[in-house]
């Protein structure tokens, strides 16, 4: 395998109640992916817990951790042992009362290559993230790693072409999207197929318009937001919970899906990517060349009345 070729892996997993058990599972899956030949491995959003943002509860801030911290230490050791790059989405405690939804990039020597703090924070029924997370202040970025230039964006960022564009302009060859997205059970029959299709289509469009590979990794399973941390169980809200739709996928620079996971099973999704294809695609579809950067001033306005 030349330097232009590498394998990327997405860890589609279910998340249980206990935060330590989730970290143990993630560590095992990362090692399994590495031994299957993956060079870059991405975990789903906030994999250490069930999706707790289904309600607002102050005690859940106790599940946050520093970066570097316990999760990056554990996964960084595996990254070093296996010689791989790992992307880990974590609930970051930056200071007392200040928390972020953060993706840490761990280099193949175990060090912290960088981190990205989620910029777009949603607030919808059962997705009450504004209660927990301060919007990111590190900007959009591409991390230079031993496995190429990696852009990390997180979940709700998926819907914003500006985020993908700026990250690509900073040199990202692959955009990774750690994700926790699912169906409200009462809506699945009527809207489920369309919701998943929109989610995938949007990210395939990012691949096309920027000429990059895209890896979107989701969790699976029906969750009620129960979380056990340091022996303390915090029950989620009463109700139907969320059914996370899985469907993790990898798309090439022309938006073709080259690997896709199921909607209901844990899987390690691996695909080989050829960075020469990125070069060839951009030469034939030179969207970056033909951008009218002199005419986009209004893009930084909230709305043009």
Q: Is 45 marked active-site? A: yes
Mean pLDDT across 70-89? 98
58-79: per-residue pLDDT in tens? 999 999 999 999 999 999 999 9
Could you give the C-alpha distances from 193 to 157, 173, 246, 287, in angstroms and in order?
21, 30, 13, 30
Peptide bond just before 290 cis, omega within 30 deg? no
Strand, coil or helix: 53: helix
Strand, coil or helix: 146: coil
Architecture field, domain 5-300: 4-Layer Sandwich (3.60)
Question: What is the rounded CA–CA span in Å between residue 55 and residue 128?
Answer: 6
- In the block, tokens 């033909």 appear at 290
Q: Is 155 marked active-site? A: yes
Report yes or no: 244 and 262 within 8 Å, Cβ to Cβ. Answer: no
Determine which one of 6, 25, 45, 243 is catalytic. 45
Q: Is 15 marked active-site? A: no
pLDDT of residue 189: 97
Question: What is the rounded CA–CA span in Å between residue 305 and residue 117?
Answer: 31
Determine which one of 7, 82, 155, 243 is catalytic. 155
Round the CA-based radius of gyration of the chain to a whole number and report it: 18
Determine which one of 42, 82, 118, 129 is catalytic. 118
pLDDT, mean over the chain? 97
Mean pLDDT across 166-177? 98
DSSP state of 213: E
């Amino acid at each position: 395998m030349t330097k232009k070729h590498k394998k990327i892996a997405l860890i589609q997993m279910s998340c249980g109640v206990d935060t330590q058990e989730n970290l143990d599972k993630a560590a095992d899956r990362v090692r399994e992916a590495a031994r299957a030949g993956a060079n870059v491995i991405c975990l789903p959003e906030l994999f250490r817990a069930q999706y707790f943002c289904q309600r607002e509860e102050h005690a859940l801030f106790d599940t946050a951790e520093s970066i570097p911290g316990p999760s990056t230490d554990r996964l960084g050791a595996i990254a070093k042992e296996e010689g791989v790059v790992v992307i880990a989405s974590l609930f970051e405690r930056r200071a007392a009362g200040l928390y972020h939804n953060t993706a840490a990039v761990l280099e193949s020597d175990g060090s912290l290559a960088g981190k990205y703090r989620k910029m777009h924070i949603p607030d919808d029924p059962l997705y009450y993230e504004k209660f927990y997370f301060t919007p990111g202040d590190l900007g959009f970025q591409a991390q230079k790693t031993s496995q190429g230039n990696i852009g990390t964006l997180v979940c709700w960022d998926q819907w914003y072409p500006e985020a993908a564009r700026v990250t690509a302009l900073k040199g990202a060859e692959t955009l990774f999207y750690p994700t926790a997205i699912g169906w409200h059970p009462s809506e699945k029959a009527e809207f489920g197929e369309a919701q998943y299709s929109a989610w995938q289509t949007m990210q395939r469009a990012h691949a096309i318009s920027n000429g990059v590979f895209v890896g979107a990794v989701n969790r699976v399973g029906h969750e009620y937001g129960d979380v056990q941390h340091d022996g303390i169980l915090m029950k989620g809200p009463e109700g139907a919970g969320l059914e996370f739709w899985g469907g993790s996928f990898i798309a090439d620079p022309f938006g073709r899906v080259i690997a896709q996971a199921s909607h209901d099973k844990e899987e390690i999704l691996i695909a080989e990517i050829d960075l020469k294809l990125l070069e060839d695609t951009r030469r034939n579809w030179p969207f970056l060349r033909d951008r009218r950067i002199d005419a986009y001033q209004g893009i930084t306005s909230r709305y043009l009345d």
